[in-house]
Structure 1
Amino acid sequence: MRSSPVGAITRGTTNPNRLRRCDRWLAGPQAWRLRQASAPIVVDLGYGASPVTAVELRDRLRRVRADVEVVGIEIDPVRVAAAQALAGPGLSFRRGGFEIPLDGDARPVIVRAFNVLRQYDEATVPAHWDLVRSRLAPDGLFVDGTCDEIGRRAAWVALEPAGPVSLTLSWRLRGLERPSEIAERLPKALIHRNVVGEPVHRLLTDLDSAWARAAGHATYGARQRFVAAAATMREAGWPLRHPERWRLGELTVDWSAVAPGGGHG
């Protein structure tokens, strides 16, 4: 007999195309996980009042793996019932929580949870991270993220079965004044750590300084300015991944550099 779902019902607000920044990262640097998976199962955990993000996730990841199976999981049975009308090839919905209730011994290669843990207490985050990680496939990935209402700014922590590996920050560059404006969208594990002495605060402070010093590149556009700022950060010793993504307004840094209480000196 299946136990009760682990978690609590969230506000469930969502919008079409809200999670595009994370989706294109999953279909880009993380695509190898899907390509080599024997069972390309992807979970949209806590998709909210509308299943639109699960539909979009399936459509975007089909470009990587045509036989991808996206499972939308929600703790609210009313939301699950409402989503069934959109179920079809490569997309299903079921009730559950952080325990990731899949059939048999199936394990997901990707679990995406956006704007879910943001609504929980910070102290509960590690236990929920651990539970989801325990359900992943060997090369699986759990993404715990947060974004604004229409996806202009997004931030997410990527975790593998062994633990967290990176933090990604993504901005719409047009109209950006300071990169640190993304601070209010940091995932729950970091949002209260943006204070003097914490690594994530140093990251954002250094990034603002690099952005200011790169002002001369603005003549060529915000994209070139951002690329220059990111290059400055890397030269300063920040362990940034995927430089080919900088032009998209996206930075990925090793988790060890921003983990609470430690990081880059």
Structure 2
Amino acid sequence: MKKQTSFSTKGNRAEVGPLSIQRMLPNRYANKVGPFVFLDYVAPAIKEIITKNGIGAHPHRGIATLTYILQGEVEHSDSAGNKGKIYSGGVQWMKAGNGIIHDENLNYDSQTESKFIQGFQFWINLPAKNKAEKPAHMAVQANEVPKKTLPNESGWLKVIVGNYEELSSKIPDYSKQFLYHIQLNAGQQFSLEMENKTEVAAFLPTQNVMLNNTVFQAGEFIAFDKVAGEIEIKNTSLTTIDILLFGGEEYAEPVIAEGPFVMSSQAEIAAAYRDFYAGKYGRI
């Protein structure tokens, strides 16, 4: 049985520092998909020069941030002393835990010298018991991201978060969660089975895609119901297509999001702001 679509939306345009992005989550229909509470998409663009300044130092608490860069490079620094740089196809993960200040600088890929930039940032909610843990950071380069060829040479699947068959991501899991990047060749199709009570959404970065016999447009965010079933992806175009598929188990604890903080109560949000203004997150 194929899963039913709950809703689809194209999100909202926003400006983050020097970047123009599409904010896909939260949206007018949903505040989260499994543990994922935020998704920004930087659409393909040309960046002519490498800049030294990032988007601006800012705090986080109660979440892990995950940056997946399709084209370009991202340099990270934070108040816990972590630094890292990823290149096209790489993943940068930071557990904010009990509070951190970080900055990211997005440039074109200095290794390939391609001027294009394109990428995503997700926020992954931490369970209440993990929100008070110390911050942590991990940089995963493209060649370290688990990848497998799909049957009949129809395309490939990368596991950015979670597991798929024999593949396992290096990114830590605090609940059942997954983030897959799937690429299908022209005229090909691929299906995945989802367990009952699994929240799942798809995002189509640049091309139209047929999902369960319905065509959705480039730039759409599509959420599915929570009933066990199949998601069938068909590429009816003459070029390769990309799709992000993500979600996980339904999050049962309270989720209170305000600004850069995601906590379990309004009192914890107030404490997050109070500690930040008191300088307890350190500085870069």
Q: Provide the TM-score with structure 2 as the length reference.
A: 0.26
* Larger RCO: 1 or 2 (CA < 8 Å, sep 6+): 2
Quick check: which one's strand share is greater?
2
